[in-house]
Amino acid sequence: MVFFSRLLCCVVLSCALTVQASASSFESQQSNTTIFDGVKGELGELSIDPNQVMHIWKSRESGQSTGIGFAFRKIYGDFILTVQLKNQKNADQSFYGLQIDAVDSTLSFKTKLDQQSNLIIELLQGAKSTLLGREGQIKNPDVFQVEQVGAELIFSAANYGKPLKLIVRYTLPKVQNLNVGVYREFAAGDKNLLEMRNLRWVIPAWKGFVPYHHYLGSRLEVLDVVTGERKVIYETAAAIEAPNWTSDGDTIIYNSSGRVYKLYLPTKKVSLFNTGFEVKNNNDHIVSYKSKVLGITHMEKAINDNWYVYKLPINGGEPVQLTFKAPSYLHGWSPDGRYILYTSRRNNQFEIYRGNSDGSGEELQLTNNESMDDGSEYTPDGKYIYFNSSRSGAMRLWRMDADGKNPKQVTFDNFNDWFPHISPDGKHILFLSYLPDIEPDLHPYYKPVYLRMLPIAGGEPKVVAYLYGGQGTINVPSWSPDGRYVAFVSNSQLGSDKH
């Protein structure tokens, strides 16, 4: 049985007080896990969910006044705020949205709807109001995002399930202190509830950030693929990657700083996975279908690209080597347990290979292209292998027979798609999508990305999570055994390291 409660544990705080989000369910509690620093206005009550699934903002029982409330966080420098907003009684969306106030000047920004229900950005400068020019239009959005890059504010929005669309760019006179957050208007006798779902603050990588040398903090999240709700189950300043779910649904396995860890979901306790010797593991680790074996990818003698695949008992033990040509990056395990799939670079080509899961015999090369082929995974019936390939120009999802024959392209839009993971019932594919400005053969850390889901029978991909992540987010299979949830990692600067 999967350990995951949909009950929200909320802390109710008056809007007249400063709001500090509880992080008691996290292994580490940092100052920048704060949801809001404060609230201006005294008309409502804001319930903060410590697991960051849904915050509720409602009127007080006796509220008979009109006014505006503004829940905000103090920000200086680059940030990203993404949130889904919904009024439970479907009231006019013009009465809530994002708001940004410049502390050092009279500038103030609000998202609103025009008469055609298209999102607009209103700029207030003292008593003067201006509607900013729009780069795109979107009707009745429920996903809102604002980010600051240097002195530029960038407003985007979407209808849930669709990619974000750029609405407005605005360059501030200078980088300055901002109060950034969500506003809502209150009317006399107002009993509407404003839902703030999946609100995430991101402090992104800084200028001069060196990938694979510098790292950001991590949120281990669980996504309900039916409702779209995301629950933060663990938050740390350490760089953690690639969650696997065990078949009993009680444990998530991930890697950090070259080691493998286990998080026991009922208690949120983290423990070191015994891999038998001093190891340098990456994010290519997989639990076998029957969950009795863990496969890992380990660097021998700390030599770059000297990666090999090993297996060991699911409860830890001495590893057994399975591949003998480097580099080998583990990605798939056949349902019958006989084979492993891995990516290897030979003759300057990244191709997909199949090996025996006991380490015997010769490997079988399944792909052979000048493009990059990676991220291979069997379907639950073992008939097909899904993978990502840049053979069509951009990185797309592909499918081939289990013997490597009859490759067929699966995704076709303008994103770069990586790491297809098949649901336990074989009906859906979950995958990671980078924006078109990322080079097809790269899957870098710390970028705006989407988790998307596609019916395996075909159709249009649906965005199921808007996040900041990339490398390490879902490199390996991360579905819960019952197929209702997916574990993944998102990133932000999160304070001092306590991992």
Q: Is residue 323 part of a domain?
A: yes
Q: Is residue 34 part of a domain?
A: yes
Give the model's pLDDT for residue 29: 32
Residues 152 and 241 grouped into a single domain: no
Q: Is residue 266 part of a domain?
A: yes
Average pLDDT, the chain: 89
Instruction: Give tens-digit pLDDT for 210-222.
Output: 988 999 999 999 9
Q: H or E segment at 199?
A: strand 193-202
Residue 88 to residues 64, 91, 193, 384: CA-CA distances in angstroms?
Answer: 20, 8, 5, 43
Angle at 76 between CA 70 and CA 80, to 5 degrees: 70
Q: What is the dihedral of CA 432, 437, 438, 439, to 10 degrees?
A: 130
Residues 171 and 235 grouped into a single domain: no
Instruction: Give tens-digit pLDDT for 440-494.
Output: 999 999 999 999 999 999 999 999 999 999 999 999 999 999 999 999 999 999 8
Q: Is residue 442 part of a domain?
A: yes
Q: Is residue 499 part of a domain?
A: no
Give the model's pLDDT for residue 385: 98
The number of beta carbons lying within 10 Å of the beta carbon of residue 302 is: 8
Domain boundary among the residues 154, 171, 202 is at 202
pLDDT confidence tier of residue 2, bands split at 50, 70 and 90: very low
Q: Is residue 207 part of a domain?
A: no
Give the model's pLDDT for residue 89: 65
DSSP SS3 for 151: coil
pLDDT at 6 over 90: no
Residues 109 and 226 grouped into a single domain: no
Residues 315 and 461 grouped into a single domain: yes
- Residue 132 maps to which CATH number? 2.60.120
Instruction: Give tens-digit pLDDT for 240-299.
Output: 999 999 999 999 999 999 999 999 999 999 999 988 766 689 999 999 987 789 999 998
Residues 182 and 68 grouped into a single domain: yes
Give the model's pLDDT for residue 42: 65
Average pLDDT over residues 218-235: 97
Residue 362 to residues 9, 131, 325, 328, 336: CA-CA distances in angstroms?
Answer: 53, 66, 11, 14, 19
Lowest mean pLDDT across 78-92, 238-252, 373-387, 401-415: 78-92
Domain boundary among the residues 202, 236, 267 is at 202
d(CA 332, CA 343): 10
d(CA 402, CA 488): 27
Residues 240 and 162 grouped into a single domain: no
Q: Would you call 304 exposed, middle or buried from its count of C-beta atoms within 10 A (0-12, 13-18, 19+)?
A: exposed
Residues 221 and 192 grouped into a single domain: no
Residues 481 and 421 grouped into a single domain: yes
Residues 405 and 485 grouped into a single domain: yes
Residue 246 to residues 249, 264, 317, 485: CA-CA distances in angstroms?
Answer: 6, 10, 17, 13
The number of beta carbons lying within 10 Å of the beta carbon of residue 94 is: 15
The HSE-up count of residue 96 (CA atoms within 13 Å, CB side) is 30
pTM: 0.92
Residues 193 and 285 grouped into a single domain: no
* Range 409-443 burial, b when 16+ CB lie within 10 A, else e: ebbeeebbbbbbbbbbeeebbbbbbbeeebebebb
The pLDDT > 70 percentage for the chain reads 89
pLDDT confidence tier of residue 178, bands split at 50, 70 and 90: very high
Q: Is residue 6 part of a domain?
A: no
Q: Is residue 497 part of a domain?
A: no
pLDDT at 46 over 50: yes
Lowest mean pLDDT across 39-48, 286-295, 349-358: 39-48
Residues 446 and 488 grouped into a single domain: yes
d(CA 22, CA 255): 26
* Number of domains making up the chain: 2
Cβ 463 vs Cβ 141: under 8 Å: no
- Residue 431 maps to which CATH number? 2.120.10.30
Residues 356 and 422 grouped into a single domain: yes
Instruction: Give tens-digit pLDDT for 56-66.
Output: 998 876 656 78
pLDDT at 349 over 60: yes
pLDDT at 424 over 60: yes
d(CA 44, CA 37): 16
Backbone angles phi, psi at 140, to 5 degrees: 45, 55
Domain ranges, residue 140: 11-202
DSSP for 244-310 reads EE-TTSSEEEEEETTEEEEEETTTTEEEE---SS---B-S--EE-TTSSEEEEEEEGGG-TT-EEEE
Domain boundary among the residues 202, 228, 243 is at 202
